[in-house]
Homo-oligomer: A and B are copies of this chain.
Amino acid sequence: MRLAGLYVITEPALRDPIEGARLALEGSARIIQLRDKQATTRQLVETGLKLRELTRQYGAVLIVNDRLDVALAVEADGVHLGQDDMPVPMARKIAGENFLIGVSVETVEEARQAEAEGAHYLGVGPMFATATKPDAGEPVGPERLRAIKQAVSLPVFGIGGITIENALAVLKAGADGICVISAIMGAPEPVAATRQFIELMRLPYEKR
């Protein structure tokens, strides 16, 4: 399976993670990431178990941000590692070969390293300015994604400040998929918002 499509990340400050994930899955999101930097481990495990059940029902992929222990405990499909998280080789050694590992990268060099270390997909960003992750750096833009896409053979997702209005630029740069937080979790109608992204991704390349 090659990862692609709409990748939706939970944000408890915007919407209850379970409800938000359910609506995104109803709109045909393919990947859900549990991300909650404030929760205790017990809370992460409890939410993760519910998301595991839900993603199984919809045949979707479940990824846990940063916390490999939580990912293993809830039998998620994988873990997403930032540059401040566990190094990829350590996670691979603990989790085994069949466990998905995604990595956040900003540069071609980081992308090449992640690929060499065995990452399954890359999240490249921030594409645009975003308020959801105040610790995110300056936007690197769709052109950086294009450069990374040319440098590696992994699936590449754009992330950071992506909306239905600017998503086309990310797809045109060669993204295999798009990661969103507030565009879905903060939408008044998350099912409809998800479907809008899916429609955009289904367009033949020349019509995008």
Check if A87 is an interface residue, CB within 8 A of chain B. yes
A189 to chain B, nearest CB (A): 35
A67 CA / B72 CA spacing, docked (Å): 12
Check if A90 is an interface residue, CB within 8 A of chain B. yes
Given contacts A68-B69, A69-B68, contact A45 B84 (CB under 8 A): no
> How many copies of the polypeptide does the oligomer hold?
2
A40 CA / B82 CA spacing, docked (Å): 10
In the bound complex, residues from chain B placing their C-beta under 8 Å from that of A43 are 84
A185 to chain B, nearest CB (A): 23
Taking a contact as CB atoms under 8 Å apart, the answer to whether B94 and A69 are in contact is yes
Check if A41 is an interface residue, CB within 8 A of chain B. yes
Check if A73 is an interface residue, CB within 8 A of chain B. yes
Given contacts A41-B66, A66-B41, contact A72 B84 (CB under 8 A): no
Taking a contact as CB atoms under 8 Å apart, the answer to whether A42 and B86 are in contact is yes
Check if A16 is an interface residue, CB within 8 A of chain B. no
Residue of B nearest to A85 (CB): B41
**11 new A-B contacts at CB < 8 Å, known A69-B86, A73-B90:** A41-B67, A41-B86, A42-B83, A42-B85, A43-B84, A45-B90, A69-B70, A69-B94, A70-B86, A72-B94, A73-B86
